[in-house]
Amino acid sequence: MSRVVIVETLRRHMSNVIVVAFVMLLMMLGLVSSRLEGMIWPPFVTLLAIVTGGALIGPEFSTGTLQLILVKPINRSVYLVSRFAGVVLFIAIAVTLTFGAEAIGRLIWRDGEGIKTAAIALVNVTSESALICALLAFFGSFLRAYFNIALYWLINVILSIVRSLFNASRMARDGFLGWVHEMTYRFPIIEQTLDFIEKNLLPDVPPKLDRDWLLLVWSNAAIAIVLACLIFRKREVPYGAD
């Protein structure tokens, strides 16, 4: 990896007023969560991961700055992995600050109750964010600009709709839902494929530390980054606008 690229990635995000304001909002949500039984900030970390991960490649293509970066002695794979590492490191810093704010609040108002749960959320949400960033890097390696985010949301929407259809068809016997029920009954591989995709691309964050889940998330993130590097190395780089 390239230390220069990682540092530059961190500098870019930390100098962004909007991103810094969002991190401060996360810390405020951490303080609010310290007064509650549950935590309200993890979904916002997911949003941060999508926004920052979507810019892993896009800006360099759309502004033409990638050419200036690649004229230096650094190959594309090293650059992409370093960018990924920089974004994940920034998210980890943001999550750690949020956890710190919640931990302080829980020490003050709840005698430390719930700090362990918040620490587990820190590890799990950071891991989920790494997978999201890896997927966005993979999508961005063959899509232009910010279409990687659009594709990620489209996959979420399609899977949600299909899952809802499957659940609604379980008791149906006629009509369209009855047909869906018959198809899933006759061809169980359809639902098995859906389960596989959801498990690997959109895994639910467990409430506790789960070694198997962490291994799944990080291994899938590694696979996505490897595929992204393979595509990114061979992709033509147009000069100027995307």
- The amino acid sitting at 65 is T
Helix (H), strand (E) at residue 181: helix 175-186
Which residues neighbour 29 within 8 Å (Cβ) at sequence distance 6 or greater? 40, 41, 44, 98
Domain that holds residue 76: 3-145+205-234
Residue 240 in this model has a pLDDT that exceeds 50: no
> Is 91 domain-assigned?
yes
> Is 35 domain-assigned?
yes
Residue 74 in this model has a pLDDT that exceeds 80: no
Compute CA distances 4 → 10, 60, 87, 116, 156, whole Å: 10, 16, 13, 35, 34
- Taking 3-state DSSP, the helix, strand and coil percentages for the chain, each rounded to the nearest 5, stand at 75, 0, 25
Q: Give the pLDDT confidence of 199-208 residue by residue, as tens digits.
A: 898 888 888 9
Give the confidence band of 123 by pLDDT, cuts at 50, 70, 90: very high
> Is 189 domain-assigned?
no
More confident residue, 192 or 64: 192
Q: Give the pLDDT confidence of 136-190 residue by residue, as tens digits.
A: 999 988 876 678 888 999 999 999 998 888 888 887 778 888 888 888 888 889 8
Q: Give the pLDDT confidence of 213-236 residue by residue, as tens digits.
A: 999 999 999 999 999 988 887 765
| CA nearest to 81, candidates 224, 213, 236 | 224
> Is 24 domain-assigned?
yes
Residue 179 confidence (pLDDT): 86
> Is 225 domain-assigned?
yes
Axis crossing angle, helix 17-33 with helix 42-53, rounded to the nearest 10: 160
> Is 173 domain-assigned?
no
- For residue 145, count other CB atoms closer than 10 A to its CB: 17
| Rounded Cα gap, residues 47 and 236, in angstroms | 30
Mean pLDDT across the stretch 68-86? 76
Q: Give the pLDDT confidence of 3-41 residue by residue, as tens digits.
A: 777 887 888 888 889 889 999 999 999 999 888 877 899
Comparing 61-75, 80-94, 160-174, which segment has the lowest mean pLDDT? 61-75
> Is 181 domain-assigned?
no
Our count of domains for the chain comes to 1
> Is 155 domain-assigned?
no
